[in-house]
Structure 1
């Protein structure tokens, strides 16, 4: 038996050296075997699918090949399989193939591969690959086809086979990868959705491997750390924190379980400008079906302002009574000052009212002119004397009231004006009705603020009786 095995191995090794093949005579001569012995061994190898036999005229040529016995293929293959003979006609179909193709056996059995009424087999390349496989050339192809209204993603393996009779053939093994492709597409879609979700978030998002290196992260974390994305790839996450906080995070991560997958920690970090800030990180473990820790999803945010607000609020609470007393005292002082201001204002208003009353009820006509000579203000006596209302006085000039003053004279008076110097004289005033009256006038220039006014106090000179 051992000799038989050695002879078979010797035949296979010999055929390896001659890819184009050898005849029985050449094999027997090279290995010093009897022709019948060589023929028996070659038949055994042919049935096993280890060699091919081709008839060239009257001679038979044997060459090394890898063929799978059909019985072995159908016994162990878990995928849909269709077996064709050397003429590319269907001779065997397993139940998985009939189920996948949704086609009864009588439609497929005995039909040529090109005649199978399914779009999958209409491609000319299928016939070519089947022929090549029957000749011992193995190949494969990925195809998409529609069966029963459902789109399938298949990987078709074209395998050289040998029948129990020693005849050559071809087997089509159809690996249905539809579910796998759909799962990959769904996974890619989920990744895109997740990427779109975290892209514009202001929070810091990171995925951490079990060795505490960064697997992935969003742009917000890159900006926060002031590092480019390629600089953070594989970066050790814990190095971002102080030694005390690192230990806190390590303990928290080691405590994660499928039943308690998350924990939160407030930690201190140092900004790029050297200032200390507070961050709140929530870590959520991701576990496999067996409960093993795969990675950790980390979500962080800057809570410095919130921490500062809490500290300020605490101080406000502690000093609330002091603040109330201080504010009460300030309000009392402000109220006292306000009462004083109101009282002074009331006194001032009374004085102003009295001054206005005295001005309006003076026995003499009092008229104030501005620097251009227009009436600025006139009392009630002036209106009674000249016949003008208060509104009418606003459009009257000194020249209209006192015809004895010309524009040139008024300009000279303005140029030589000395505030406080009083002058008494007799002059004339012109009434609204055009009548000229003689008056005694006391006039002077007065300054108020940054402006100077001409004050004319007049009394009508009545004829003696």
Structure 2
């Protein structure tokens, strides 16, 4: 696999963003590459000197390299300097170094720092620091020394350096501050009280030499330029000014003994690349001969004030434009009204009607506006502004309430918003957004789940209402409406679950299978992890565990059985009970080591006025709010289950009854027929099969009168019996399947159900 420069650059930027170090697994997750590939790229960056590695035990952390390349030093450093390798042998020196030390290449190149005749390099402060700098630590120090018999006060900087062959070294830079010594040392050694006061200032405070070299910087200024105090001292005061018409040197040149102070606002870039407005008060300090000795600068960040002023100016300009436009509109209306008055002077009534109409329109507009505000508030809608160009998203207060975030906790980064989208919805949301950005669709209407501040998923809908595109048709921003549709979505889900459970219950073959189906449905409706069903024994009234989900002997916090006098039984008999938190569960006997884990539970009895079948216990290790629509859905499931159990019990009783009645029918020696109120044959015995020549399956479902020589007489007979309740010795002729006729005498009687309704007719035929 080859090296991808884009991946290499991305990994380098990630490491540079983590000043406190980052491990390889974090980088692998961010760039979506295998850790072995990331390790290879990090090794390349380490060899190039872009990354430092610190090993702790078996783990490694990667840091932004503080080393500067040999080529950069040679091209951009102009003060006297030398470059030494890791063995402290001098590798290179520039012309400025030869000039200040009076040495040449033959005298120093290749020699060790200890052997060259320059006392500065044997200074204890420097010698103790060489090894640390080789390992990546920057060092600065003001040092007094002699060079060629002359006293110097040098600002020495040790900078970690990397050679072209990727070996490590040091660049030693010498900055001559001899002529400014008397102005530098008081800050370092003098007035500590004054220094402490400046350190605690929130404004930016620094002191500069006439050549604008920084001799002191407080913590606030060091934080602004993103440097440590020892790194800031000795640097040039050279902010990156955005306004090309501002020349820093010209500003400082205007300071004189007659006008020693200068106040100016500089628009400059900070270390993050952000434009800031800094108001500087610069004061020149002169000696008794009016010779400039130093500058003292105090800066104050007024960016927010400037931004507010700019916004105010824009608002003011827009307001003036609106006033002007409105004035023109009013003038036009007044002109038109004047002409109308001239024309309609004699029709004052017409004018009054116009005024009345205008007032009506204004009133209707006001009413519509009031209704719209009321509807927006009642519907609990929120607004969402997305700036696609900047990659930001902004929600109003109501939208934040919908997703459960405060303004402080909500990230306005669009990428962070995308990470909150449910994985199952992410691809469809991104697909619609791309079509919208590309202009393939004019608006976006999409429903998806979002991760709320409390850690659960919520359904919301986003509808784009306003779009801004630039003159190249590139999408800049869009405003839309967020709506909480979690209730509707959950109700739809519950409806589907109820449809499914209704179908499955209708197909269930037994009571246990129906109870199992319902347990799965209740877990889905209530969004909980664990479920148990306790069957109630009719004789003893005790509850015993008969079905469970995601629970075994080691994880079940409840008992396998509860007697009829337990608190469990009392709660189960009281109806559906919602339990929130383990404190309210303590009334039920639990295994002590697991009771604290239960945060939410609900007990759902399976009972009606006539029967008590058992109880479902659904619970969770997380706090779960159970809305009313979920309670309604559970009650619907339980109702379906009770009806199914009753149906199954009825089928069992019917089967048993049919077996009993079948025996009674077959024991009769005469031909017996069961006829429905509609005149259809419901059942026959074997004697009837014999007398008609037809088998039972051929007779059932056909008209009773079709099997007689005189169908009308036969029909009249069973109708008479249905009307009067019975019929005795009714003579008919049965048509045998072979065509022969058999004379019979029928005795007929009706039979009724429990409420007295006639459900059929018994007819017994005897040969005569």
TM-score exceeds 0.5: no
- State TM-score, norm by structure 2: 0.24
Greater relative contact order structure (CA < 8 Å, 6+ sep): 1
- Structure with max Cα Rg: 1
